[in-house]
Homo-oligomer: A and B are copies of this chain.
Amino acid sequence: MAQHKSPQRRPSIHDVASHAGVSAATVSKVLAGVTTVKPENAQRVFDAVEHLGYRVDPLASDMRRAKRRIIGAIMPEFESEFFGQMVTELEGLAEQRGYTLVAASSRESEARETEILARMHDWRVAGVVLAPVRNEHGPAAAFMKSNGMTGVLIDRVLSDDAFDTVSADSAAASAEVARMLVGKGHGHILVIGLAEQAATVRARLEGFRTQALALNPSVRIDVITSEVSVEPLRSSLRDYFARGERPTAVYSLLLKGTLVALSEFRRRDWHCPNDISLVGFDDAEWMQVTWPAIAAVVQPVRQIASEAMTLLFRRIEGAEGPPTARLEPCQVLMRESVGSPGNGPHPGGGDRQQPPLS
């Protein structure tokens, strides 16, 4: 391709047209792959495109469509591995289909969530992937509904009457965690979470409780939740331990909770798994290199992203029918932070990738 170094104005379709000696409409048709063009003219167009280094202006191209080839993605935050990976996946999937992904962070605020959504509506995005701050019943989903927007809800949702939803099957994963903890003999387990993520937390909690009680009806399950942020959770946890409560294991329903639990453990000089066991919902890279490695529930990011995009584009292409609610299976990585109560570290040894040195 001839790199024309004209930093000034990029060639438009009219430049290509005049260079090829045809009309702009013909150029448009050639590039759109319409076959009712004489091969000779098509070739002239291709040559001109090549020679001028012409590229379609996506903005102008989208002008006449009601739905622009833009997908909006709204995440509660960008700082965690989970949402970071999610955005990366979504971006790739949008790109594959010739769409541009515009990602925005709601910063855990429902007000901001709605503002961003309004701005995306201004852009007339074809669809939105929304990971709501709280759940599917917030103002953001309502805004989408009342404005006839196309979208998919992910992560902190279970099901909705207007939008397709995709999330991790955290109830099943929690049941699996229960199986492992109770199986190791834990009889007093503390579960911590955020109450505002109502449905999700309830699902995780119920999945856990049901399974735990099924295996051992006398197991004691304490629950500590805070409403909005994690800081209240920290002080509740501190109070709880200060009261003398001494569960043998903690299951955190969210990543920040895992961090809070760890920092409270270290404050009291409790070590995992000798003093207490810990499992966290949501995995992170560092969890397998620390001492001990932290057991975690791994969410299927790729599957969630892929399924969400598939459903979204189906709707964009006009698919009717009742919304679906997908649950993607998680994986539970049992690592060294979990042992049997009263014992030393369990021998199993987590997921160390290499055998010990000879």
Interface on A for B, CB 8 Å cutoff?
A: 3, 5, 7-10, 55-60, 62-63, 66, 68, 77-81, 83-85, 87-88, 91, 100-105, 107, 118-119, 121-124, 146-148, 242, 259, 262-263, 266-269, 271, 284-291, 293, 352-354, 356-357
Contact = CB atoms under 8 A, between A and B. Distances in A.
Given A124-B59, A259-B289, A284-B286, A78 B87 contact: yes
A161 to B, nearest CB: 16
B268 A289 contact: no
A79 B88 contact: yes
B262 A290 contact: yes
18 contacts: A5-B146, A8-B148, A10-B124, A56-B122, A57-B123, A59-B68, A59-B124, A60-B63, A78-B85, A79-B85, A80-B81, A83-B84, A102-B102, A103-B103, A262-B286, A266-B352, A267-B354, A269-B356
A67 to B, nearest CB: 12
A77 B66 contact: no
Identify the interface centre among A59, A91, A107, A357: most chain B CB within 10 Å of its CB: A59
Chain B CB within 10 Å, residue with most, of A7, A68, A268, A286 = A286
A242 B357 CA distance: 9
A147 B6 CA distance: 7
Contacts of A271: 291
Given A7-B146, A266-B293, A267-B356, 16 more contacts: A5-B146, A8-B148, A55-B118, A55-B122, A57-B124, A58-B123, A59-B59, A63-B63, A84-B84, A87-B105, A101-B104, A103-B103, A262-B290, A263-B288, A266-B289, A291-B291
A266 B291 CA distance: 7
Contacts of A87: 78, 103, 105
Contacts of A352: 266-267
A84 B91 contact: no
Contact of A58 (B122, B146, B242, B356): B122
Contacts of A57: 122-124
A53 to B, nearest CB: 10
B100 A102 contact: yes
A141 B33 CA distance: 33
Contact of A146 (B3, B63, B80, B118): B3
B77 A88 contact: yes
A77 B68 contact: no
Nearest to A107: B88
Contacts of A66: 9
Contacts of A146: 3, 5, 7
A66 B49 CA distance: 21
Contacts of A148: 7-8
Contacts of A62: 59
Contacts of A266: 289, 291, 293, 352
